[in-house]
């Protein structure tokens, strides 16, 4: 968590602003304008030259935290959460849920692109052709496993922030946010999609290996016939 103290030399007006930095590559900005967002990203780019260079943020979402002393209890809505008083963990649990949801958006789009790629091979298969190599099969399998690994290990969809184990109210609010952003359901869908894709890739691999095995068998048969012909030629016209 970068507070206004950390952002003092980075943003022109850091008061009341903050940035949550997550290990799976998602940033959550608190009270930041679009210019502040790009300033922070540009600063991170200077720290690590390996970061992707982009001029706009492709996957974004926003959520409001409203403090209303007239509110009787915490109300978690689709666009905002209204609380009677500000607690330090509200921002953290909102940031965690928002970060995971946005990261899932990227994974879901990536899986959709893989389905589009696989559809091309399925169309070829309907015509009796399968133009796919071991390298393409390995690359597709790697991409599928990468998305599945990211959702489990990096994004840690099934894990909850530490604060929920220390506060019953925090646990209740985070549970509401989990269901609001449909994190468990989307994780299950990602798991199902990756399993389906891996099953399809396995079929492609079996067909490809069977096709290659047939080619090898024909090569052996041709060599055997050639050897027979060569033997006959040598017996008729000895050298």
Tokens encoding 96:
């965690």
Count of Cβ atoms closer than 10 Å to residue 178 Cβ: 19
Q: Does residue 213 lie in a domain region?
A: yes
Q: Is 190 a member of any domain? A: yes
What SS3 state is found at 156? coil
- Whether pLDDT at 2 is above 80: yes
Establish if 172 belongs to a structural domain. yes
Residue 68 lies in a domain: no
Residue 28 pLDDT greater than 90, yes or no: yes
Single out the residue of 52, 50, 55, 24 nearest to residue 38, CA to CA.
Answer: 55
Quote the number of domains for the chain. 1
Residue 33 in domain: no
Q: CA neighbours within 13 Å on the CB side: how many for 236?
A: 6
Please name every residue paired with 21 in a beta bridge, in sequence order, or none if there are none. 27
What is the average pLDDT across 4-32? 89
Question: What's the pLDDT band for 177 if we cut at 50, 70, 90?
Answer: very high
| Three-state DSSP state, 2 | strand
Q: Is residue 26 part of a domain?
A: no
Domain that holds residue 113: 88-236
In a domain, 160, yes or no: yes
Ranges 40-44, 125-129, 182-186: which has the least confidence: 125-129
């Amino acid at each position: 968590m970068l507070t206004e103290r950390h952002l003092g030399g980075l943003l022109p007006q850091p008061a009341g602003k903050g940035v949550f930095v997550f290990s799976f590559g998602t940033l959550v900005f608190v009270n930041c304008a679009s210019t502040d967002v790009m300033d922070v990203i540009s600063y991170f780019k200077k720290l690590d030259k390996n970061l992707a260079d982009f001029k706009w943020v492709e996957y974004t979402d926003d959520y409001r935290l409203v403090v209303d002393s007239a509110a009787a209890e915490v109300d978690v809505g689709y666009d905002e959460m209204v609380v009677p008083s500000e607690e330090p963990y509200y921002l953290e649990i909102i940031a965690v849920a928002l970060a995971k949801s946005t990261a899932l958006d990227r994974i879901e789009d990536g899986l959709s692109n893989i389905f589009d790629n696989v559809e091309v091979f399925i169309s070829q298969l309907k015509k009796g052709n399968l133009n796919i190599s071991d390298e393409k099969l390995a690359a597709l399998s790697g991409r599928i496993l990468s998305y599945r690994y990211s959702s489990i290990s990096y994004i840690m969809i099934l894990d909850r922030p530490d604060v929920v184990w220390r506060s019953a109210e925090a646990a209740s609010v985070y549970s509401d946010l989990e269901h609001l952003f449909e994190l468990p359901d989307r994780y299950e869908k990602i798991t199902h999609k990756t399993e389906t894709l891996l099953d399809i890739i396995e079929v492609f691999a079996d067909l490809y290996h069977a096709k290659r095995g047939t080619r090898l068998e024909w090569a052996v048969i041709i060599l055997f016939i050639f050897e027979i012909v060569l033997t006959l030629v040598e017996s008729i016209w000895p050298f």
